[in-house]
Amino acid sequence: MALENLISIAFSKEELMELDQHMDGIQKIFRGKTVNLTPTQRRQYGSIGNHNKLIVDKAKSYMEQHPQWIPRFLDKDEFDKDHQARKQVESRVQQLTNLSQQLLDTKTLLDHDNYTNALSFYRMMRFLAGENEPGAKPVYEDMKVLFNKTTSVSTNSDEEE
């Protein structure tokens, strides 16, 4: 019985080169404009939810209507610059998140197909080794250690003999 192939794709060399060029271009634009926070810093600064975004937008609106009420220590130009950049970044984050999820989902199906086929090959090696097929036993023995119950990397721990 043939295995179900969940996905079948291929990228041409040209497509991969073009994709890499675009990613290099994105990285070039980001250089000096993006940061990498540590996990501690991420917890420290958190992220604002939808409710807090409404607070920021409402405050911005009132600051524009009543500039005389803006505290002197608040740099309104910097606030506006940050607000605009945040909106610009957020829309790109949504696009990149969507693309990233598509790639992760595609990789998941490719991994599943590869793993299922690798298990079929292993089972065939186990059978051929049992039938004393020349050269099959060393291949089976080499792969067999990967299915050791204490060090198994498989999601199906019942693959051992």
Question: How does pLDDT run across 79-123, given as a tens digit for each residue?
Answer: 999 999 999 999 999 999 999 999 999 999 999 999 999 999 999
Average pLDDT over residues 30-54: 95
Question: 148 falls in which pLDDT band (50, 70, 90)?
Answer: confident
pLDDT for residue 3? 72
DSSP state of 2: P
Q: Is residue 94 classed as helix, strand or coil in its secondary structure?
A: helix
Residues 6+ apart with CB under 8 A from 148: 160
Tell me which residue has tokens 């409404």.
54
Mean predicted confidence (pLDDT) in 27-45: 96
Residue the block writes with tokens 């600064």: 45
With helix as H, strand as E and coil as C, how does 22-47 read?
HHHHHHHHHCCCCCCCCHHHHHHHCC
Q: How far is CA 29 from the centre of its chain?
A: 21
Percent of the chain with pLDDT over 90: 88
What is the per-residue pLDDT for 1?
54
User: Closest Cα partner for 135 from 146, 124, 148?
Assistant: 124
Question: What's the rounded Cα separation, in Å, for the pair 137 and 150?
Answer: 22
d(CA 89, CA 73): 26
Confidence of residue 4 (pLDDT cuts 50, 70, 90): confident
- pLDDT for 2 beyond 80: no
Q: Taking 50 as the threshold, does the pLDDT of residue 8 lie above it?
A: yes
Q: Is the pLDDT of residue 153 over 60?
A: no
